[in-house]
Amino acid sequence: MIEKITQLIHRSEELTARLCDPRVASSAEECTAVMKQLKELEPLTETGRAYLAAHREREEVRSLLKSETDPELLELARSEEENLSQRCRELEEQLRLLMLPKDEHDDRSVVVEIRAGAGGEEAALFAAVLYRMYSMYAVKKGWTSEIVSVNETELGGFKEISFLLGGQGVYSRLKFESGVHRVQRVPETETQGRIHTSTVTVAVLPEAEEVEVHIDPADLRIDTFRASGAGGQHINKTESAIRITHLPTGLVVECQDERSQYKNKDRAMKVLRSRLLDRERSRQEQALSSERRSQVGTGDRSERIRTYNYPQGRVTDHRIGLTLYKIEEILNGSLDEVTEALLTADRAARLAQAEKTADEAAD
């Protein structure tokens, strides 16, 4: 551990020195890249320096224990040694978590797609509730939100809605939201007061860079049409809505939220790139053994991940056995308690797998 920490600190110092290099300082792109690396290393180096300091103090106290004869001083030294050992163990655990391989997409913005599942109009109404929840969470986090396309029902629900959430680390906070969300409540359309169960499917895709996904223009069919839904007279006069079909895969993306045909096309291409990247990632993950997959959840959209029970005021995440009686707070965008629990469970699962792999390699 000490050797690893020393290497990380040395790397951080090298990067800091590079920022003082006139050649690097004059290049905005290179300077940004170096600063990004430094920021990623900062939690590791800070925790590492704290560990080295605690380790050094503990060794000094242990040396004192070997030479000290005064009973009172020995008792104080033993207590101090115990405290420092505990501190070292805690910092070492933090370092092991920080050293886990990071998901390369964690810092990205995302495309979120919500679709009504089983339950008809009630499912569509709850899809609108989930859209509101994520939108309010985005506001709390200072993220941007842009609707790509929406298919509304007469009662104000959504058969489906796609939207972009932009900001630093959005994917890291929302990547465990993919899957089937189940709601249990008395629908507004129910006259007998019976509780209905409906489902909504959520997909969270990391936004893909253009260089990551090559799309041959010859593989695209691009259609324009008049937008439908709210928007006043404009939507009846201008064919600004865009439908892009990726012929090799059959993927279809529509965008009609902007009045500008160019802006709609740009957003639709973002969604298409993200879907193609997601297909490739899914293909790669299917090739992995089940042991290497996250124990929190596979991200499979057919996996039931969470239940929102209105009569009991309960939200239960089935993957980690988390139950919170805070349904109103959560649906009003207070998702941090849920996302933090999922992130903690994921780190613990990956750490256990890393230690198991290390033990097998040692044997």
pLDDT of residue 285: 62
How many helices and strands in the chain, by DSSP H and E? 10, 11
203 strand-pairing partners: 113
CB 111 within 8 A of CB 271: yes
Phi-psi domain of 196 (left: phi exceeds 0; alpha: psi -120 through 50; beta: other): beta
pLDDT of residue 232: 40
Whole-Å CA distances, 240 to 168, 193, 272: 30, 44, 18
- The domain 110-348 having CATH identifier 3.30.70.1660: the answer here is yes
Compute the average pLDDT of residues 57-62: 93
Compute the average pLDDT of residues 220-237: 61
pLDDT of residue 125: 93
Quickly state the pLDDT bin for 64 (edges 50, 70, 90): confident
pLDDT at 209 over 80: no
Quickly state the pLDDT bin for 359 (edges 50, 70, 90): low
pTM beyond 0.75, yes or no:
no
What is the share, in percent, of the chain residues with pLDDT greater than 70? 87
Whole-Å CA distances, 344 to 138, 163, 313: 21, 27, 24
CA-nearest of 118, 131, 129, 116 to 328 is 129
What is the share, in percent, of the chain residues with pLDDT greater than 90? 39
Interatomic CA distance for residues 321 and 325, integer angstroms: 13
- Give the model confidence (pLDDT) of 75-116 as tens digits: 999 999 999 999 999 998 888 878 877 777 888 899 999 999
pLDDT of residue 234: 39
pLDDT of residue 227: 66
Lowest mean pLDDT among 146-155, 222-231, 323-332: 222-231
CB 171 within 8 A of CB 106: yes
Q: Are strands 304-309 and 179-185 parallel, antiparallel or unpaired?
A: parallel
pLDDT at 332 over 80: yes
121 strand-pairing partners: none
Compute the average pLDDT of residues 244-252: 90
- Give the model confidence (pLDDT) of 137-170 as tens digits: 999 999 999 888 888 988 889 999 999 999 988 9
72 token code pair? 């009172």
Quickly state the pLDDT bin for 342 (edges 50, 70, 90): very high
Whole-Å CA distances, 326 to 175, 189, 306, 312, 323: 21, 24, 14, 10, 9
234 or 242: which leads in pLDDT = 242
pLDDT of residue 361: 65
- CATH 3.30.70.1660 occupies which residues in the chain? 110-348
Q: Are strands 158-166 and 144-152 parallel, antiparallel or unpaired?
A: antiparallel
Average pLDDT, the chain: 84
pLDDT of residue 362: 64
pLDDT at 233 over 50: no
- Give the model confidence (pLDDT) of 262-308 as tens digits: 788 888 888 888 888 888 877 766 654 444 444 455 445 567 899 99
b/e code 165-181 from CB counts within 10 Å (16+ = b): bebeebbbbbbbbbbbb
Lowest mean pLDDT among 220-224, 276-280, 328-332, 358-362: 358-362
Could you give the angle at the alpha carbon of 338 between the alpha carbons of 329 and 307, nearest 5°?
A: 75
pLDDT at 258 over 80: no
Whole-Å CA distances, 58 to 67, 95, 152: 15, 18, 64
Compute the average pLDDT of residues 191-197: 82
pLDDT of residue 27: 85
Quickly state the pLDDT bin for 236 (edges 50, 70, 90): very low
CB 207 within 8 A of CB 274: yes
297 or 60: which leads in pLDDT = 60
User: Three-class SS of residue 211?
Assistant: coil
CB 136 within 8 A of CB 332: yes
Residues in the chain: 363
Interatomic CA distance for residues 264 and 267, integer angstroms: 5
